[in-house]
Structure 1
Amino acid sequence: MALQIAIIGSGLAGLAAARILRVHHEVTVYERSGPDTATGGQGICLFPNGIKILQAMGFDRDRAGAVSCHGYRTFDKDGNLVKDFPVDFKGKYGADTMAMKRSDFRDELLRLATAPSEDLGIQGSPAKMVCDTSVVDVDPDEGLVFFKNGSSVQADVVVGVLLTNWYDRKTADGKIVANGVHSRLRHRIVSSSCQPKKNGMTCYRVAISAESVKEALGYLPEWWDPRTADSRISTLIAGDGSKRMVAAYPLRHYDYMNFSCLFPTRQDKGHVLDSWFADGDRQEMVDTFNDFSYPLRKILDIATEVKVWELQDLDSLPHWNKGRAILIGDAAHAMTPMQGQGSNMAIEDADSFHLLRPGISRDEVKEVLKQIDGIRRPRTARVLRDTRAMAKGISMDEMIANLDFNCGYNGVFEG
């Protein structure tokens, strides 16, 4: 008999989990905002460990506008090439590394979670989406989920992805933004005190169209132009000890470029920047990188949607599960983007729900969730440690070892 699954939050982790679970179980996703909840137009990188799992789900790279990346390049702040580091991701790890707009990626996950089964060539029923519904509490032992309107539901499994922010934040168009780092109900599953920690760096994020850059500059820089970029993830580094750097990678078949602009936080602005989706000050961004090459300065100056985040992560939790409930995604293992592995860990979390096999009984659920915790938590703990080390600077040998550990993962059944 199919299990009743309640997934709280329709972000990347929640929708990926819904796609895995819908094949054999009845899945309902509860979202506090609408089906198009804000995810931002900025970019996201999926490495082979995530892509292999996505391909098994039926992920359509063309729908997501994904661009394959084949290594890294570093430039100085004047735009001069310093180092080229090609990586045959597919040949070495079994799948490409792909960059795409976060919103495009979420749209594709939403399709995989909710499209008719015959359209995807799979068994089971589509996940149900219940929107504009705020979860205010959970009872992990009984599998009860309580809503702001006073109603409740009981499920065999409760998957906590966001579990409601400790504060509400809205975008300019009124969409509620949730952030798993600040999971207000995490204490229902993990009794110990666990608060996110800022790492002293701030990141401005923008996605800019090639069309607008050609209009402003008359050309695309070497690290953007598909004829010269060689599908690399590019990093422009200040090189003056200030720790300022700009990471850039293509989106939507090179029609857009994502820019992640990192620099030491000048002043802690408290909860204003606790959300990864907070609106940023374009002029501050431009001023921070005003000694970089003219093309980059001009590109940042024409940015229309600017988001800013004081980078933060979460210490490894003692456990993710309690009773019938389990945390996944940022609610379980938030980390900074220094390795680009946060979203990949969320996809791996979703894949682990294959262990909730068809025919499993309600009485067996708790033991399976413990098994998932035992598999996933140690791995994400190492990725967190490596990500923190990356922020301090590591050798090329260490970086390659990290790539091998991260990208070599083949799913919950193969490790």
Structure 2
Amino acid sequence: MGADAARLQILIVGGGLAGLAAASFLREKHEVTVLERSKLDFSRNDYAMSIAPNTHRLLLDQGIEDSQLKASPMTYVWRGGSDGKVLSESLSESLARFGATTIFTRRSRLHAALHGLATGDSRPGQPARIIEEVKISKVDVAGGMIKAESGETYRGDLIIGADGINSAVRAAVLLANSDSVNGAAPLLTGVAAYQCTVPIDVLRDDPSLEFATGEKSGMGSFHGSEPRTRVLFFPADEENLQVVAYHPENDWVAQFEQSGSSIIKDIPAERAVQDFLEFHPSLQNLLTSATTRDVWRIRDLAQLPKWHSGKAIPDRRCRACCYSAFWSGMQYCHRGWRGARLLPRKPSIRGTDTCSARIFRDDPYPSRAYGAVSVSSCRWTADRGRAEECGTVQLPGVRGKTLWIYFR
């Protein structure tokens, strides 16, 4: 097979972390177009997130240094109760076990770095073409065609869905496989998360929390008497701290429904503290010290019975859709890169990927190679992510093991 014959026209729906990660690899051997529904704004709804060792190693391999991300390493994990007392201190073993550290960085910096990999001149192949403000009205999975509300059409040999929790590609695949879009809509977990950023000096100036400063960079996790209530903090960079405080969403349901949004912005400090009255004043102070606080509704997605249809591959995300300390950066980037590595003439990470790449080369429908890969790792991550974010909640329509609260 000649080089031109192996070259595919690939449409990636979604210019977020997963979409740009996939585009950065696929551009080496294929023609890649990214369709983004909005104007790319790296700073919108920005927050700190973790990059697990496997993804961190991939970033380093592509020349993205920690200094570019202004990243902070995770050296320790502290666990405690609502009284603020530390019950355990664990030294991170990720470097020794995986050859790279877990790091924390802002989503905006990671997004910008991936955009550079996908569109810049540092990587082989033709830069990915990114088309912004494309509102999709139809996805034809059999014909490999996407129609926009503007009337424009885009065609490809392969459509990759990386378009988030309200995915048009996911809905189209469900419809093609079962004549129904049941399962496309997000599932409610009953949990919300307060998100805010505070100066790291808040820790340094508090004798109860100064243990997490200096060389002991990492994540603190303090849980309440209600399994779904906890306060987490971890560095956003050298100057700032990310705070994520989980609580049942009961008092916010009406406002979420009325606004039609999963994010409620600018929550008053005194209102935020009301949900964490059992917590030590030092932990409450993490919420009150922020300039602004937002509440995010945590939603989930049921696993698909089939991971492809025709020429389309949906996002394999099947986990709680929030941005916890351990799951977001790893899932978004590694999901995008791992899917990209299934395509022809690409090096594989695992033996199953090599097998799938062979299937791909002999199959007129490229999406089947992706579907041939075992989804066990996806389900494992789903269970771990839900346990981290949703406590012991078992969601209707979600396959998986019994959930437990697990802090790494």
Which of 286, 294, 303 is the aligned partner of 1:316?
303
- The reply on whether 1:17 has 2:35 as its aligned counterpart is no
Taking only the aligned residue pairs, the percentage that are identical comes to: 23
Q: Is the 8 A contact 2:203 2:210 kept in 1?
A: no
Partner in structure 2 of residue 304 of structure 1: 291
Could you tell me how far apart the structure 2 residues matched to 1:258 and 1:339 are? 9
Could you tell me how far apart the structure 2 residues matched to 1:364 and 1:75 are? 54
Return closer, same or farther for 1:224/1:256 CA change in 2, 3 Å cut-off. farther
Which of 310, 313, 316 is the aligned partner of 1:326?
313
Could you tell me how far apart the structure 1 residues matched to 2:136 and 2:36 are? 8
Return closer, same or farther for 1:313/1:54 CA change in 2, 3 Å cut-off. same
Q: How far is 1:244 from its partner?
A: 2.2
Q: How many aligned positions are there?
A: 372
Return closer, same or farther for 1:385/1:241 CA change in 2, 3 Å cut-off. closer
Could you tell me how far apart the structure 1 residues matched to 2:103 and 2:260 are? 27
Return closer, same or farther for 1:222/1:65 CA change in 2, 3 Å cut-off. same
Could you tell me how far apart the structure 1 residues matched to 2:193 and 2:159 are? 33
Matches within 5 A, 1:24-63: 24-36=29-41, 39-63=44-68
- The reply on whether 1:127 has 2:128 as its aligned counterpart is yes
Return closer, same or farther for 1:161/1:19 CA change in 2, 3 Å cut-off. same
Partner in structure 2 of residue 251 of structure 1: 236
Unaligned runs of 5+ in 2: 347-356, 394-400
Q: Is the 8 A contact 2:94 2:102 kept in 1?
A: yes
Which of 380, 383, 403 is the aligned partner of 2:381?
383
Q: Is the 8 A contact 2:230 2:245 kept in 1?
A: yes
Which deviations, in whole Å up to 9, do the C-alpha atoms of 1:221-244 show, x marking residues without a partner? 3144225xx122111223x34642
Partner in structure 1 of residue 171 of structure 2: 187
Partner in structure 2 of residue 202 of structure 1: 192
Instruction: Give me the TM-score of the superposition, normalised by structure 1.
Output: 0.79
Which deviations, in whole Å up to 9, do the C-alpha atoms of 1:5-54 show, x marking residues without a partner? 11111111111011111111111111122122554221111112322333
Could you tell me how far apart the structure 2 residues matched to 1:329 and 1:279 are? 29
Could you tell me how far apart the structure 1 residues matched to 2:137 and 2:386 are? 32
Determine helix, strand or coil for the equivalent of 1:182. Answer: coil
Partner in structure 1 of residue 139 of structure 2: 138
Partner in structure 2 of residue 392 of structure 1: 392
Equivalent residue letter for 2:187? K
Return closer, same or farther for 1:375/1:38 CA change in 2, 3 Å cut-off. farther
Could you tell me how far apart the structure 2 residues matched to 1:274 and 1:61 are? 37
Return closer, same or farther for 1:46/1:188 CA change in 2, 3 Å cut-off. same
Q: How far is 1:75 from its partner?
A: 2.8
Could you tell me how far apart the structure 1 residues matched to 2:108 and 2:13 are? 19
Q: Is the 8 A contact 1:356 1:365 kept in 2?
A: no
Q: Is the 8 A contact 1:157 1:365 kept in 2?
A: no
Which deviations, in whole Å up to 9, do the C-alpha atoms of 1:351-389 show, x marking residues without a partner? 221221259999856554222223263321222123334
- The reply on whether 1:266 has 2:265 as its aligned counterpart is no
Could you tell me how far apart the structure 2 residues matched to 1:242 and 1:344 are? 25
Could you tell me how far apart the structure 2 residues matched to 1:22 and 1:103 are? 22
Q: Is the 8 A contact 2:298 2:320 kept in 1?
A: no
Unaligned runs of 5+ in 1: 163-179, 404-415
Provide the aligned C-alpha RMSD in A: 3.2
Which deviations, in whole Å up to 9, do the C-alpha atoms of 1:149-168 show, x marking residues without a partner? 11101111111111xxxxxx
